[in-house]
Structure 1
Amino acid sequence: MKLYEFAPTRSIRVRWTLQELGVEFEAIQVNLGAGEHRRPEFLKINPAGKLPVLVDGDLVLTESVAIVLYLAEKYPEKGLLPTAPGERAKVNQWLLFAATELEQPLWRIARHKFLYPEDKRLPGDIALAGQDFKAMAEVLAKHMEQRQFVVGDRVTVADFVMAYTLDWANEAHLLDDFPTLLAYTERMYARPHAAPRISQAFASLKA
């Protein structure tokens, strides 16, 4: 297997899953800052020009949530997905919650702070996106009370996706009012096979 990645991005979710599974893979860095994601050879792999990408034989898979689900299903003996339909549906529910309710406002903040040209940025949308995130973080915080993991009594791929998303929010200083979510994030990143945190990933680019 090959993982096309760039350290601070959602590639972290896939790397984390692979490390928890103990699966050998070849890591291929695609430097977004240098524009390597727009090179013709990479666009042949993913025409969207985005990361991560997993190549497993003839299968080329994009979208981090789809990739972690594929990996969990490929190695069912590792137990990163529940076998009961209801529990598996709950994993899907929280994966989608992370990707839509939490990640989208984080993307809005990033776009208007860093990614859009300065004349396209809307400072007011940063505050609105922060409010949207916190409203949904409150829902997650209530769910996580008295829980170690997002679903059930053992780790699943929902935890890797959620922990990365919360680490992203913490980088944006949006978790200060959510000690339950901060503690959960710290627990997850303390796992022996956890991926680097976003701050560590950025630091590695400067090393």
Structure 2
Amino acid sequence: MKLYYHPLSGHAHRAQLFLSLLGVPHELVELDLANGAHKTPEFLKLNPLGQVPVLEDGDLVVTDSTAILVYLARKYDRSDWLPQDTVSAARIQRWLAVAAGEIAYGPCAARLITVFGVDFRPDEVIARAHRILRVIDAELSDRDFLLGTGPTIADVALYSYIANAPEGNVDLAAYGNVRRWLASMEQLPGFVAFPKTPIGLAA
């Protein structure tokens, strides 16, 4: 199994983190995004969108970070990470949508400005980040993880960009429940840290 990734991509880190939490042997293939390795004809055959991460499992190719989380949980029959009951499945889908929406356009976008020089308006994306962080902090007021006492792929999907939000000038100081949740994630067996860049509030 191969994971095509970039070490500073939070989307790629989600997939790398989950592979490690599951203890699945895999090969990491780092792409030099700065020099366009994700736009080569060879890589575009794997993912026509030219994005990381990409998981290659034999002849099967899975693109999109949250799709990779679902695939791995199903492949290894890990109902602890992806429960099968209707209510839990719906709750997880809600958080996967948050990862692709509010997280992508909030803390992820804020970090893209400082780490990759993307031309977004800092005030707008930082405000979005704080809006979703307030919601998540409230959700975690009475539980250790997003769905309850144990982690699921919902937690994996949200972790990376929240953990490194200070790189995008998003201060986590006011979100005690979020910081407690981050620490709980970081204590899980097999946890792999998302490399931090000394930039923004993390400088």
TM-based fold match above 0.5: yes
- In the TM superposition, residue 108 of structure 1 has moved relative to its aligned partner by 3.5
Supply the distance in 2 between the matched residues of 1:110 and 1:89 (Cα, whole angstroms): 29
TM-score, L = length of structure 2: 0.87
Q: Secondary structure at the match of 2:46?
A: coil
The residue that corresponds to 1:155 in the other structure is: 151
The residue that corresponds to 2:32 in the other structure is: 31
Q: Secondary structure at the match of 2:8?
A: coil
Structure 1 position 87 matched with structure 2 position 84: no
- In the TM superposition, residue 137 of structure 1 has moved relative to its aligned partner by 1.1
User: What aligned pairs does 1:58-73 form with structure 2 within 5 A after superposition?
Assistant: 58-73=59-74
User: What aligned pairs does 1:23-172 form with structure 2 within 5 A after superposition?
Assistant: 23-77=24-78, 79-113=80-114, 114-116=116-118, 121=119, 125-172=121-168
Supply the distance in 1 between the matched residues of 2:78 and 2:153 (Cα, whole angstroms): 14
Amino acid at match of 2:117: L
Structure 1 position 2 matched with structure 2 position 2: yes
Supply the distance in 2 between the matched residues of 1:77 and 1:94 (Cα, whole angstroms): 18
Unaligned runs of 5+ in 1: none
- In the TM superposition, residue 84 of structure 1 has moved relative to its aligned partner by 1.1
Supply the distance in 1 between the matched residues of 2:144 and 2:77 (Cα, whole angstroms): 21
Supply the distance in 1 between the matched residues of 2:84 and 2:139 (Cα, whole angstroms): 21
May I ask how many residue pairs the two structures share in their alignment? 195
Structure 1 position 196 matched with structure 2 position 193: yes
Q: Secondary structure at the match of 1:100?
A: helix
- In the TM superposition, residue 100 of structure 1 has moved relative to its aligned partner by 0.6
Identity of aligned residues (%): 30
Tell me the alpha carbon deviations over residues 7-34 of structure 1, each in whole angstroms, 9 at most, x when there is no partner: 1212111111111111111211112123
RMSD over aligned CA atoms reads: 1.9
Q: Secondary structure at the match of 2:34?
A: coil
Supply the distance in 2 between the matched residues of 1:8 and 1:112 (Cα, whole angstroms): 13
Structure 1 position 18 matched with structure 2 position 19: yes
Residues 4 and 29, structure 1, Cα contact 8 Å, conserved in 2: yes
Residues 81 and 153, structure 2, Cα contact 8 Å, conserved in 1: yes
Q: Secondary structure at the match of 2:33?
A: coil
- In the TM superposition, residue 107 of structure 1 has moved relative to its aligned partner by 4.1
